[in-house]
Each structure stands twice: as C-alpha cells, then as structure tokens.
Structure 1
Amino acid sequence: MRSSLALPTVLRFPLACLFTLLLVATIAAQPARGQEASRMPPADWKHSPAQYEALLAERDVMIPTRDGARMATDLYRPARNGKPVEGRFPVLLNRTPYNKQSLHEQAVFYAERGYVVALQDTRGRYKSEGLFSKVQPLDGTDGYDVVQWLSKLPYTTGKVGMWGSSFGAHMQAGAAVYHPPALSALLLNMGGLANGWDHGVRYRGTYEYGRQLTWAWGQLLADARSDDVRALLTKEKVEDWYGATWRRGRNPLAVSSQYEGWFFDFWERADYDAFWKDPMMAWDEHYPATSDIPMLHVGGWYDIFLAGTFKNFSELRRLKRATQRIVVGPWTHSGNNRPYAGDVAFGDSAAIPDFLTDFHMQWFDFALKGKANGVDKAAPVKLFVMGTGTGRKDKNGRLLHGGFWHEAATWPLPNTRFEPWYFHENGTLSATRPSSPTSSTTYTFDPRHPVPTIGGGSSARLKDGAYDQRENPRFPPSAAPWRPLRARPDVVVFQSEPLAEDMTVVGPITVVLHASASTVDTDLTVKLLDVYPSSLDWPGGFDLNLTDAIVRARYRATRDHAELLTPGQVYAFTLEPFPTANVFKKGHRIRVDVSSSNFPRFDVNPNTGEPIGKHQRMVTSDITVHHSATYPSHIVLPLVPVRRP
C-alpha cells in the first residue's frame, strides 16, 4: 500500500536539519536557517589557498545503478577562466538524503583545491529515482555502482574518496562493505554506527525511542505536501506525546504508513535477527569484507554513535593494513565546531573551526594524492581529555570544564590500568572491595514516572551534551520543584569521598551490577558523573554527566531471543557506557547513579514481560542492587598517567 503522505520532489533542508537524529543531516559548510552559526567555520577563518576556480560542470547527472534506478548527481570540477582544467583529479563523493544542493559551499571549496566533487541525492530523495527507506539495503550497492561509475570519468585519476557526517558517514560504510575497487579513502564524521541493535536504533535491548519519534515527526513535517498534515503536526507538540500510549493507527504518525511503519518496526523488532544483520544496519557483521583503505573516524564524547566509532576504528585497524585514524572531541552529534556541549564549555581549543574544510583536505591530500603533509606521521589516536578548567561560569552561563588534546599510539591508551571501584552499603564508592557478607539497596521503579533524560549522547531535539543533573523545564517529563536527580527515590547514588588528588580516566567503561527484581523483566541504567563541589558560581555544586548505559533485563545474556527473570533471583548485569576521557580534579567526587529509566531517550519498560510496544499494562518493580562480598557490584575505571601538557 502506498503511503498516505506523498513525498515531495524537493525537501527544504533547514527543516529536515532541525530534527537531526538517527543517521541524519550532513553538515553544510555555511549556516543554514535553523542551525547555530557557531557550528560552522568563522567568516574570517584563514583557509588553505585555492589553486583553481570551481565549476559546477553538470547538474543532475543520472548515474545508473544495477536495478535500473538512477541517482541524481551534481559534478564540480577544478577550472580556470570558467573552463575545466585539463588533467585528472581524484573524486570526492558525498551521498545524502538531505538535498545535495545544501553541500554546494563544500563542493566549491574542494574543487578549488584540486578535486572533482560529486554531490548525490540518495535513492528516492529529491531528483534521484527509486523508493526511499530509512533502512535501505540498496544504499550499499548503490554506493558501489556510483563509485565505479565516477572512477571511469576521463578527467579523474580513478580514485574516489567519500566524506560526510551522520547519514553521509553511514553511506560511506555501506559502500565500503561491498568493496568497490575504485574506493580509496573515507572520512566518517559522527556516523560510526557499528550495529543498530547495539546502539543508534536500539541499545542493549531497549529502544532509542526519543530520537526515532522526533526524527519521524520532524521529517514528516518537512516532507508534508498536505496542508492538513502540516497543520496537524504543527498543532501537536511532540513533547506532549512522549508519555502517550502508542498504538499503530492511533497516533500522529499514522498520517504516513511509511514513517509510522519505521517507528513501530524498530520498536517491536526486539530480537537480533537477519533484519539487524544487514550491511546497512550492522557494519560489524561485515568488517572482513570491507575495503582495506585509509579511514578517518571522527566522534564526540556526547555523540549518539560514539561506541560504534571506537569499535569501527579498533576492529578495522586490527583487520586491515591501511591507515586507520580516530579523532574524538567533547562534541555532541554534529557539534565539532563548537567549544561547548550543552551547559558545559571546554575552551576554544575544543572546537575545530576548519573541520569541514582544511581538516578534510589534509586527510584526502594524504590518502588520495599521496602528499607528505604530516598526516602520515600523525598518531593514530587523538582525543580531547575533559576536565582541567576552572569550574567557573563563563559569559554564556556555562560551566568552564576545560580540557586538552592528547595523542596516543593505541586504544585503549598505553599503560591504562583498569581499576574496579566498588559500591558500598552507605552509598560510597571506593577501590576497596566490600567485606560485608550481605549488603544491598532496594528502590522501587514505577514506569509511569520515569527518570527524565538530561543530556548525554542523545540528540539535539533531546538536548544532548553535558548538563547539571537536575530536573528543569527544558527536559520533559521533568516536573517541579526541579530537584536534582540524586534526590529521586528511584535513583541510587554511589559516590566517592572528595578526591585527594587529580584522577585521569580515559577509555572504555564497564559496570557490573548484581541485582534482583520483583518482576519478570525490568531495565537497569547507570550513569558516571563528575561531581563539582559547592562554589560561588554553583552554590549547589554541579553534577556533570559524562557517560551512561542501559540494559533490558530480558536481553542481559542473549541478543537473538529474550529470557525473562525469575523474581528475586540475583543476576550479574554487565553494562557498557560509551567511553569517556575526563580529569576528576582534586576535591571533586566520582559518582555512579543506578536506576531503571532514562526517558524519553529510551522507551520505558512496563516490567510485565509482555512484548514492548504492544504491552497492555505497567507495574512497579522493587529492584535490589547487591554490594556485598558475594555480590560486589562495581564500575571499572580506566586510569591513565596522562597529564595536561
């Protein structure tokens, strides 16, 4: 059946970009309406000098793919006096579903510096033929066919590189899995989706509800031709639907069977099956087949795909011989050009103002032109270590958390010491293992009153980034009187004494929870925080979130099928928050919060064991966290001897 909402020929880019969620907007080189100017290079930025003029040589070239659908492509060439320069140049390709014309400024920049540039609308978008789907297996083979077609143009060297952010990065991975011979380099920015079941769509059995809902809502509004549809989605507020009972055909997304279908299919398809193993959903299932070519993986500590960025880099570096590099800053999704994330600032050095221009050129000049420009000698790992700021309030009211860049040869960093810090019955956290034979803490989780999402690696719509963990009106479903999350009865806090000296934590984080529940299913969440002491600027202190994780109990040990709990039985749950890099300064506390919800980022578990998304009831669950000699719940911290230069 055809969707009741027809997709327009042309989608207005700024509206699409407002809802940058799963695999979304490729960043434009100049601010589009609805974007922050601080995300883009400053107007006075001194770029590398242009060598040529840029010529939009051909518009909407229809490149054929193996099933007959043709992909609309704009081709830019280096030129002088309005005519293409003789000779052969490497190709840079960006495939996007968000209007190729939005990338015009970037294409001009690259063509001026000696590249043929191809901007392409992906299948079913704008001028391209075929049917668009959010999960499109053909995107990978389309990428192969397009790369090979471009490589045969008489004015190219036969080498094709790809760049792009979020969805654009995902398109690179899809093409690389099919190994087109001409594909020669990738630059994957904020799109390190290694496995959509594990993160990005679902997360260890849970559903990344908030992003999927707001992505679908925003795209429907942007795509809508019908005034009635536009009026409906404008009148309704997506936030008002966060806690609603969702059923197929009885929700605002029902105006489009296509978008509603994606939302519910992702939600209801909980088992890890063939759907999730497709190359466009699970790159990690297809690493061996992937092209052995230079790749630069770029992520952020508050990016929704950070776990995949590290996994892609680590596994491909192990399996392949070509150069693999990783750069991670204190960024949210698409926030490379900002020196802050949420309500926390990291200093001017945290941003890369030339990220979408000279930064790219250095990489591609090395990978596609063989220039010895220093990239070949750069360390494989470059990370921003957060936490060395003054802690004062800056002119914009943000916490000055600060930090510095650090380079290394390996990930995890050399000389990393993985040290367990244990939970204790008095709510303390320390490196001393519990000695008590029986010790536990019990809280009651009511799915009708979930813990609100306050920042983290979520999305712009859900206000991703670093924030004081206190309920406030910016974070629905927060409610007055706007108390700290640590004051909630369903949040169990374990924190250290004030540190006697600085402690640097850089690397993957693991939490082992020994827990039991009074129900057959529930969720468990953990959050790692850097707790600032009280100060003149922050009289109540500042509970700064660094990273978090969640696990659905029924998928604690398996992915391909659910296994319900036996009420009252103690299980060991392993949670893996995204990696982080932070200096916990002297006088600060290290804290771990344990709970059972993080909404609306993740769907709420009704605790009944019913199929989630189709459940009819919600019940409370008494959850007991054990922290005894027999059941020593703990967090493993990667401690490193890194000091600020």
Structure 2
Amino acid sequence: MTLLSRLYGVRPTLRHRVRVRRNVEIPAVDGVRLLATHYYPAGQRRPPLVLLRSPYGRGNALDQLPKLLAERGYQVLYQSLRGTAGSGGRFDGFVIDPADADGTLSWLRTQPWFGGELATWGASYLGYVQWELAARDIPEWKIALIQDAPSSFADGFMYPGRAFASGNALGWVQLVERMFTGGYGITRQLTGMIGAARRLSRATLTLPLQEADQALTGHPVPWFRDWVRHGPGEPYWASTDHRANTARMPSLVHLQGGWHDFFLPGMLADYAALLAAGRRVRLLVGPWSHGRGLYTREGLTDALAMLDAALFGRQVPSGVRLFVTGAGRWIEVPAWPPEHEPTPWFLHPDGELSRIPHDGRAAPSRYRYDPADPTPTVGGTQVGISAGAKDNRRIEARTDVLTFTTAPLAEDVEAVGPVRVRLHTRSANPHVDYFARLCEVDARGRSVNVCDGIVRLRDPGDIRVADIRVADIALWPMAHRFRRGHRIRLQVSSGAHPRFGRNPGTGEPIATGRGLRPSEHEIFHDHSRPSALWLPLAPGAS
C-alpha cells in the first residue's frame, strides 16, 4: 500500500500489485529520445492509461502518485520532457516542443499494452503540458486532471496587471537550477535550499534585471532573459499561450486550484472557457498555495472520484467545491462565480474603510515610493514555502504603505467571488504601480492577508502634475469569512517586492534599465473621487 493511500484514506477496494519498467525510450518525431517510467498493475490486460509528462525528474518522491494509481488498476506512463532527467534535447522554459507529444502519441498507439483509453494528470508544469497536448485531436483522451496550471503562461505568471513577476520568475529559475544541478535527487535539492532565500532576495535587486539570472545561478538562463525582454502581449508569448486549444480538450476536465496560487485567475478563466466549449468541468479550490493541494485528502479524493468516473464508469462529480477561509468549511455551488452582489467599501481620509462614502471634500492620503528601498511583501501568491496567509503588521508599519480599516464587524461578513479596487490617484511620475491587499485584522491587531493584486499604469504620454488617474486593480478571487469582532483592512502601496518586480520609475525597459526614480503619491477619497474596494457578498447580505 502506498504512503499516499494510507495517509489520505484513498485505499482502493481491490489493491493490485505494482510492476515497474524503467528508462523506457520514446522517440519524439524529430528523433530526440525521451525517457519514461512505466507503472502497471500485475495481472491486468490493457488497463486504462494515465499519462504524466514532467520536467521535474522521475524516481523521487513524486513517484508516490504513479504507484497509487497503479495499485488502483491504472497503468501510468511517467515521462521526462526533453532536456530533463536523461531525456535528449534542450529544455526551453515554458516553450514546449510539439515534437514530444506527437512522438509520444504515435509511439503509444503501437504498444500492445495500450488499451485505447487515456487520461492525463498533473500539477503546475504537469498541468500546463496538458493544455499544449490539446493542440491536436486525441480520440483516446477521456479526461484531463489539471492542478494549478492555466492555459496561458504569460498573463497569470509573468505579467499580472502588466507588472513583471520577478520574484516568482527567479524563484522558478532557482527551483529548476537545483533540480538540474542536483541530479533530481531529493537530498541534494534539500541541501541546495540552504541560503536559497537570501540568494534569491539579492538577485531580485540586480540591475539591469536581465542579469539577475547570472547573479542567482552563476550563468545566463536563456529563457529567463527572454521572459524579461518581452513585455505583455508581445508575439514571443504566443508559443506559451494554449487558450485556442480549449475546444480539443477531452469531454471531462477536473480543475484544482488554491486561493494563494499565482495561477488561480487564469484557471478560473479556463473553467469558463471549457464550459462554453461544452465540456463537463469539476472545479475544486482549496486553502492552498501553489502545488500544495495535490497531496491532500480533499484534493486526492475529489480527483480520484473524477478519474474513476471517466475510466471506470462511476458517477461524475459535478459543480464547484470551494473552501471558505476564515470559516474553515467546504461549500458546494453550481458554478463559478456563485451569485453575488459587488458591494463597495469606501476609503476615508482618516484611514477608515466604510460602507458609507465620504460626503464632502477631503485632503488625499499621501506616501512616497522609493524603488531603491522597495516596499516588501510577505506571504500571498509567491513561489515557495513562504506563500500563503501571513502576519502583515511589519509591512503596514512602513511609511510607504497606507491602510484603511473598518470598525469591528457587528456580524460575520462572508464574501465569495471576484474582488476589485478602484483608486483615484495622482503622481507627477507617469511610470507607477499600485498594489492593493485585503486583510483581516483580529482582536489582537494581527493583520492576515486574504488576497491582493497589482496594476502597472500605462504611460499616458504628456502627463501634467495636476492630472488624476484611475487605477483599477483586479485582486485574486476569494471565498472568505471575516469574523464578527474582527476588522477588514485594505493596504495601498506602490509595490510588493519581490513578488512583483519593483517599478524603477524611469520608463526604461525593465530588462536593461539601470536608473531608479522615487515617486510621490496621492490617493483621493472624497465625494467626487470615491476610491473603494468591492467585495462579492451574497445577494441581500447586509
């Protein structure tokens, strides 16, 4: 019995003995040899196949999932993508060579043990490759199980709100470097984590930013330099955008995400697109950061139920299952987003956040942002173990962070759905970011982040000192209960370093710029310019 089966209570009704074939060679259509491990249940004739394709190696702790599936009666082909873990060719970041999938499918169809029924499974990169797989028609494909992976890489990961995600980009560079140099061994990778946070922090401050990879790893990383040289919407990103493949996804799709995952907004957009394309979709969103939901009781149980439904004819789970943070409970809703009313909470000049707008004139709130001492962040949607809900009091004590807070709540406030903020702002510098973070403050004053978002304003050209601009910020979606007696708080600043790369304020290209220019900011919150937060409350909620 696998460790996962015992830990998470997903023991199969009938347990099969697992057999393993290692270093199976699969030819890509361009002749590159890809290596895979084949797991299969002894004594079963051509059972359904689950395909996992990964850059993260084989034969390590990730093998728990293939073994779990094989003991349940599935066979599993666990393949290393080109340039990784012994497979030939060159690894190219999030640009996936279509020759890999074309060759794998052609080879698979000739194998006597393949029974003509295929599922795909995987989190993060293992989910992302499933979207690329759908570039071709695959009649054998019955279900895709995708965790923490959207169809479009650039929008959600590289340039959320048009701000470059330097901390997450470099964090992934560091993760891949540890795997490559550590030979994919767990011990060597864990050893490589010693001092990793300190090295990453230093690297994110490198100028010019395109040399941060060298500062972090000691050598250039070509795909990182491509990321930082190409802004949002440029043609370069077309090779990492697989949204056009939605109509070729299998008829059943299981999507799993986390409230603190940087990929969540993109996955929710994929959920809507899949429904529009006529697919049956099960959506599960838990209280996790990136990659943490896969090996959980809730995540595994739900995904296995969907897999069994697709390949063994069991009942198909339907609808959307959400974990409500702050309440500690799961809810089932028909669709995402559930029915809700966007309800405004207005910023006031004395740092108050209220359902009642300011009824007169008021001086704006002010702060100064200095990219030489960028406003830091904690927790949230970061790469690595520091992600999630954290105490924000140290951040809120800074002079470059404004906070707007409600009075203690007279009753619970539960919000489920999309979140947005509109700020009326002024700065003489046209090159600015605005970051908003929603927190819950308990009776002891501890301020814990719920969700956040950022926007980099486009340069309007000829800006005058007196010009007031509107910053519309889409925060990460949420399902959260603010408890009675607690307070709701909104942070406003111009950065969240290193999660979002600091805006140097000069207008230079972020890849090659070396200058840093501070900026003064005003946030307006009077009767004619009502800056506000909108929370998704249930219809009729007070």
Q: TM-score, normalised by structure 1?
A: 0.76
Could you tell me which residue of structure 2 aligns to residue 63 of structure 1? 26
Matched pairs, number = 530
Aligned equivalents of 2:155 and 2:294: distance in 1? 28
Q: Is the 8 A contact 1:41 1:354 kept in 2?
A: no
SS of alignment partner, residue 73 of structure 1: strand
Could you tell me which residue of structure 1 aligns to residue 452 of structure 2? 548
Could you tell me which residue of structure 2 aligns to residue 47 of structure 1? 11
Counterpart pick for 1:362 among 297, 300, 305? 305
Could you tell me which residue of structure 2 aligns to residue 505 of structure 1? 415
Q: Deviations over 1:228-247 (max 9, x none)?
A: xx99x979833333334346
Could you tell me which residue of structure 1 aligns to residue 224 of structure 2? 263
Could you tell me which residue of structure 2 aligns to residue 120 of structure 1? 79
Which structure 1 segments of 5+ residues have no match?
Answer: 1-28, 31-39, 339-351, 389-402, 472-484, 535-540, 556-561
Q: Is the 8 A contact 1:77 1:115 kept in 2?
A: yes
Counterpart pick for 2:257 among 299, 303, 308? 299
Aligned equivalents of 2:461 and 2:49: distance in 1? 50
Q: Is the 8 A contact 2:393 2:446 kept in 1?
A: no
Q: Is the 8 A contact 2:341 2:538 kept in 1?
A: yes
Could you tell me which residue of structure 2 aligns to residue 533 of structure 1? 443
Q: Deviations over 1:432-478 (max 9, x none)?
A: 233325552221111112221210011215x101011033xxxxxxx
Q: Is the 8 A contact 1:147 1:160 kept in 2?
A: no
After TM superposition, the structure 1 = structure 2 runs for residues 447-458 of structure 1, keeping only pairs within 5 Å, are 447-458=371-382
**1:519 and 2:426 correspond:** no
**1:216 and 2:173 correspond:** yes
AA of the residue aligned to 2:170: L
**What's the % identity of the aligned pairs?**
29
SS of alignment partner, residue 200 of structure 1: helix
Q: Is the 8 A contact 1:179 1:289 kept in 2?
A: no
**Alignment CA distance shift 1:422-1:179 (3 Å):** farther
Could you tell me which residue of structure 2 aligns to residue 241 of structure 1? 203
AA of the residue aligned to 2:337: P
Counterpart pick for 2:160 among 196, 200, 203? 203
Could you tell me which residue of structure 1 aligns to residue 187 of structure 2? none
Could you tell me which residue of structure 1 aligns to residue 514 of structure 2? 616
SS of alignment partner, residue 100 of structure 1: coil
Q: Deviations over 1:10-45 (max 9, x none)?
A: xxxxxxxxxxxxxxxxxxx86xxxxxxxxx666584
Q: Is the 8 A contact 2:428 2:520 kept in 1?
A: yes
By how many angstroms is 1:248 displaced? 5.2
After TM superposition, the structure 1 = structure 2 runs for residues 257-336 of structure 1, keeping only pairs within 5 Å, are 257=220, 259=221, 261-278=222-239, 281-284=240-243, 286-318=244-276, 320-336=277-293
Counterpart pick for 2:347 among 395, 411, 423? 423
Could you tell me which residue of structure 2 aligns to residue 74 of structure 1? 37
By how many angstroms is 1:490 displaced? 1.1
Could you tell me which residue of structure 1 aligns to residue 388 of structure 2? 465
Aligned equivalents of 2:27 and 2:142: distance in 1? 21
By how many angstroms is 1:153 displaced? 2.9
AA of the residue aligned to 1:469: N
Q: Is the 8 A contact 1:42 1:353 kept in 2?
A: no
Could you tell me which residue of structure 2 aligns to residue 35 of structure 1? none
SS of alignment partner, residue 513 of structure 1: strand
AA of the residue aligned to 1:49: T
Aligned equivalents of 2:173 and 2:22: distance in 1? 30
By how many angstroms is 1:568 displaced? 3.7
AA of the residue aligned to 2:181: A
AA of the residue aligned to 2:447: D
Further displaced range: 246-255 or 98-107: 246-255
Which one has the bigger helix percentage?
2
AA of the residue aligned to 1:450: P
AA of the residue aligned to 2:409: L
SS of alignment partner, residue 266 of structure 2: helix
By how many angstroms is 1:613 displaced? 2.9
Which structure 2 segments of 5+ residues have no match?
Answer: 184-190
**1:387 and 2:326 correspond:** yes
**Alignment CA distance shift 1:46-1:438 (3 Å):** closer
Counterpart pick for 2:478 among 564, 580, 584? 580
By how many angstroms is 1:330 displaced? 0.6
Q: Is the 8 A contact 2:143 2:250 kept in 1?
A: no
By how many angstroms is 1:273 displaced? 1.3
SS of alignment partner, residue 470 of structure 2: strand
By how many angstroms is 1:492 displaced? 1.2
Q: Deviations over 1:475-524 (max 9, x none)?
A: xxxxxxxxxx2222111111211111111111111111121211120111
Could you tell me which residue of structure 1 aligns to residue 525 of structure 2? 627
Counterpart pick for 2:403 among 493, 500, 504? 493
Counterpart pick for 1:101 among 38, 54, 59? 59
Aligned Cα RMSD in Å?
Answer: 2.8
Aligned equivalents of 2:366 and 2:128: distance in 1? 42
SS of alignment partner, residue 384 of structure 2: coil
Aligned equivalents of 2:378 and 2:5: distance in 1? 28
Q: Deviations over 1:121-142 (max 9, x none)?
A: 011112222211112231x452
Aligned equivalents of 1:625 and 1:354: distance in 2? 42
Could you tell me which residue of structure 2 aligns to residue 353 of structure 1? 297
Aligned equivalents of 1:551 and 1:469: distance in 2? 20
AA of the residue aligned to 1:73: A
